[in-house]
Amino acid sequence: MALLIPGRGGVAARLAPLLEPLFGGELPIRVTAWDGSSVGPADGPAVVIRSRRALRRLLWQPDELGLAQAYVTGELDVDGDLLDGFTRIWAAARARDLHIERPPLKDLAKAALTALTLGGIGPRPKAPVSQAKLSGKLHSLLRDRDAISHHYDLSNDFYALILDAHMAYSSAYFTEPGQPIEQAQANKLAMVCRKIGLEPGMRFLDVGCGWGSLSLYAAEHYGVDVVGVTLSKEQKAFIDARIAERGLTGKVEIRLQDYREIPDGPFDAIASLEMGEHVGQDNYPTYVSQLHALVRDEGRVLIQQMSRGDRFPGGGPFIECFIAPDMYMRPVGQTVDLVERSGLEVRDVHAMREHYVWTVEAWLQTFEENFEAAVAMVGEEVARVWRLYLVGGLLTFREGRMGVDQILSVKRAADGTSGMPAVRPDWLSG
């Protein structure tokens, strides 16, 4: 059982049986209730339960999603810095080999009785307004458009409160400690262009082009003709404005188009940066087969993609409900296998997990500096969603529960030739 802090009892002591099952039977954290009482390790990070409504939410959804819902609505909070608090909570839980999972029914029954005595029993609370509400067949064209819109059409101005000047929303590549995020993103963009062998006059396809960081960089620095596809109207409007500003009209074409609907291959090279996570488990063979069909013989395809271990496949309840609906990630080896089954030959797998830690650290710092502006723009609930997302993502990559890799492949010609250099180049310096 959790220890009472000397001189304290009240609501917190009665809450312990409700919360302990979430951590496998013992609290690794201090809990402060709405009456000011506390329970748990005196020197631990403090979770503050601000209302009985949080109890109801955790009874109806006693897992990661319920905790996230309570946090984004402000019914539950972490005292002090959220990153520091989560770091200590996870470290304490890991030391005891605990996992925040749905408890057994017998523990839920005991928790319900405790909640009843505290006035925490009642109808199921409504999902937060920031939670995605999609309908239709999973990964149909219409549902995929709605899923992308939920995440990416929040507003271009909002994402500018997080990202660097490139508006690159994928892992950067740092060549030295403390490097500014803008330079690290430029490193990544240049490395991608070199890996896929871009040369002036080539026709390049950017699948899931985001806010155009790679499309614009490839056209400006490598003289290629670019087609970028996105399902986000906000992103297309943003890139079209930058195309005009930079005099790239006729060199970069941005389409509102699904990857399954691109009709005009072949392309000399293709890249897809952190878009494959959105296509779904069942549709991934279709995705990589389409990349194979759209690239010319001896053309290269680069996929930068996040991975997740077998224990927690998919995207996770919080991410799938609040950030990226219908997202699916798998171990990198399974993705490599699927790429090869499409007919592409995998030539290089470049693990970049640590670089995502540094990338999200930079994003989080920028976001915290702009937090009040974010609240004014999208409201406190959505701002709290993104604070939780960035903190959780940083820790997940730091602890190795997620990774990110660049997978470089090539479409062999009928005679087996690949056009690839026999000696592996230094992709960063060219």
pLDDT tens-digit profile of 281-293?
899 999 999 999 9
Query: Is 68 within the bounds of a domain?
Result: yes
Q: Are residues 93 and 41 in the same domain?
A: yes
Question: For residue 5, what pLDDT is reported?
Answer: 41
Q: Are residues 183 and 85 in the same domain?
A: no
Query: Is 423 within the bounds of a domain?
Result: no
Model confidence at 336, in pLDDT bands (50, 70, 90)?
very high
38 lies in which domain range?
Answer: 10-117
Question: For residue 46, what pLDDT is reported?
Answer: 81
Q: Are residues 267 and 217 in the same domain?
A: yes
Better pLDDT: 303 or 29: 303
Q: Are residues 268 and 194 in the same domain?
A: yes
Contact 301, 331 (CB under 8 A): no
pTM of the model: 0.86
Q: Are residues 236 and 381 in the same domain?
A: yes
Query: Is 422 within the bounds of a domain?
Result: no
Q: Are residues 145 and 106 in the same domain?
A: no
Q: Are residues 188 and 60 in the same domain?
A: no
Query: Is 125 within the bounds of a domain?
Result: no
Q: Are residues 83 and 230 in the same domain?
A: no
Query: Is 133 within the bounds of a domain?
Result: no
Query: Is 424 within the bounds of a domain?
Result: no
Q: Are residues 310 and 384 in the same domain?
A: yes
Q: Are residues 229 and 322 in the same domain?
A: yes
Q: Can you list the pairs that 222-226 forms with residues at least 24 positions away whose Cβ atoms lie under 8 Å?
A: 222/193, 222/198, 223/199, 224/198, 224/199, 224/200, 224/251, 224/268, 224/269, 225/201, 225/251, 225/252, 226/251, 226/252, 226/253
Question: For residue 8, what pLDDT is reported?
Answer: 45
Question: For residue 7, what pLDDT is reported?
Answer: 36
Q: Are residues 218 and 84 in the same domain?
A: no
Give CA–CA dist 348/407, Å, rounded: 6
Total domains present in the chain: 2
Contact 332, 350 (CB under 8 A): no
Model confidence at 132, in pLDDT bands (50, 70, 90)?
confident
Question: For residue 1, what pLDDT is reported?
Answer: 37
Q: Are residues 82 and 214 in the same domain?
A: no
pLDDT tens-digit profile of 203-254?
999 999 999 999 999 999 999 999 999 998 999 999 999 999 999 999 999 9
